[in-house]
Amino acid sequence: MEYTRLGGSGLTVSRIVLGCMSFGDPERGPHAWSLGIDDARPLVRAAIEAGITTFDTANSYSLGDSEVITGRLIGEFARRDDVVIATKVYGRMGDGPKDSGLSRAAILTQADASLRRLGTDYIDLYQIHRWDPAVPIEETMEALNDLVRAGKVRYIGASSMWTWQFAKAQHAADLHGWTRFVSMQDQYSLIMREEEREMLPYCADQGVGVLPWSPLARGRLARPAGDTSTHRSGTDHFGQQLYRQQEESDRRVIEEVGAIAAERGVTRAQVALAWVLHQHPVTAPIVGVTKRTHLDDAVASVGLDLSAEELERLAAPYVPRLPEGF
Write the DSSP string, 229-250. Answer: -SHHHHH-TTGGGSS-S-HHHH
> Which three-class secondary structure state does DSSP give residue 171?
helix
Cα angle 246, 278, 282; round to 5: 85
Q: Which residues belong to the active site? A: 61
Q: Establish if 58 belongs to a structural domain.
A: yes
Backbone angles phi, psi at 174, to 5 degrees: -65, -40
Query: Do residues 59 and 87 touch, judged by C-beta distance below 8 A?
Result: yes
Q: Establish if 247 belongs to a structural domain.
A: yes
Provide the CATH number for the domain around residue 101: 3.20.20.100
Instruction: Give, for all 326 residues of the chain, the pLDDT tens digit.
Output: 999 999 999 999 999 999 999 999 988 877 787 999 999 999 999 999 999 999 999 999 999 999 999 999 999 999 999 999 999 999 999 999 999 999 999 999 999 999 999 999 999 999 999 999 999 999 999 999 999 999 999 999 999 999 999 999 999 999 999 999 999 999 999 999 999 999 999 999 999 999 999 999 989 999 998 767 665 555 555 655 667 767 889 999 999 999 999 999 999 999 999 999 999 999 999 999 999 999 999 999 999 999 999 999 999 999 998 888 77
DSSP of 264-325: HTS-HHHHHHHHHHTSTTB---EEE-SSHHHHHHHHHHTT----HHHHHHHHTT--------
- As a residue count, the chain comes to 326
Sheet holding 84-89, edge to edge: 209-210, 181-185, 153-159, 123-128, 84-89, 54-56, 17-19, 286-288
Q: Establish if 325 belongs to a structural domain.
A: no
Domain residue limits at 74: 3-315
- Rounded to whole angstroms, the Cα distance separating 273 from 276 reads 5
Residue type, 219: G
β-partners of residue 3 are 14
Q: Establish if 50 belongs to a structural domain.
A: yes
- Rounded to whole angstroms, the Cα distance separating 126 from 81 reads 16
Rg (CA), the chain: 19
Q: How many domains does the chain have?
A: 1
- Of 299, 306, 303, nearest in space to 275 by CA: 306
- For 2, residues 6+ apart whose C-beta sits below 8 A from its C-beta are 14, 15, 302
Q: Establish if 326 belongs to a structural domain.
A: no
Q: Establish if 323 belongs to a structural domain.
A: no
Q: Establish if 267 belongs to a structural domain.
A: yes
- pLDDT of res. 322: 86
- Rounded to whole angstroms, the Cα distance separating 164 from 274 reads 29
Cα angle 268, 273, 216; round to 5: 75
